[in-house]
Amino acid sequence: MRRTPASPIIRRQTSFGSRLLRAVVLIALWGFIALVVVTNLGFSLGWYNDTLVSLYLLFNLKAHANSAFLLLALVLLIVVPLYCTWRWLHLRKGVRA
């Protein structure tokens, strides 16, 4: 008999409340990111109005923040795949046991 490789998929169903909370958090985070990007773009393109100035001051954006965001993005590009690989191997090991 041929042994098929086990799939490391978790079959437990997540509750509706948990999924809703995750969706709200993700939408809020992406909304915040979009707001910061629009504010930076607005200032870069010379769109000056009271709202953009207020957001710029609220977020305390600075010219050197772009390099910090780039460094954060690079760190995340390295850390996230490493974590995903570790998690995948951990799940596969749990399925084999």
Residues 6+ apart with CB under 8 A from 29: none
Q: Are 61 and 39 in contact (CB under 8 A)?
A: yes
40-88 pLDDT, tens digit each: 777 777 777 887 777 777 777 665 566 677 677 788 889 999 999 999 9
Position with higher pLDDT, 12 vs 1: 12
Distance from C-alpha of 69 to C-alpha of 75, rounded to nearest angstrom: 10
Report the pLDDT value the prediction gives residue 48, as an integer from 0 to 100: 77
Going by pLDDT thresholds of 50, 70 and 90, the confidence category of residue 37 is confident
Question: According to DSSP H, which parts of 1-97 are helical?
Answer: 16-45, 50-59, 65-96
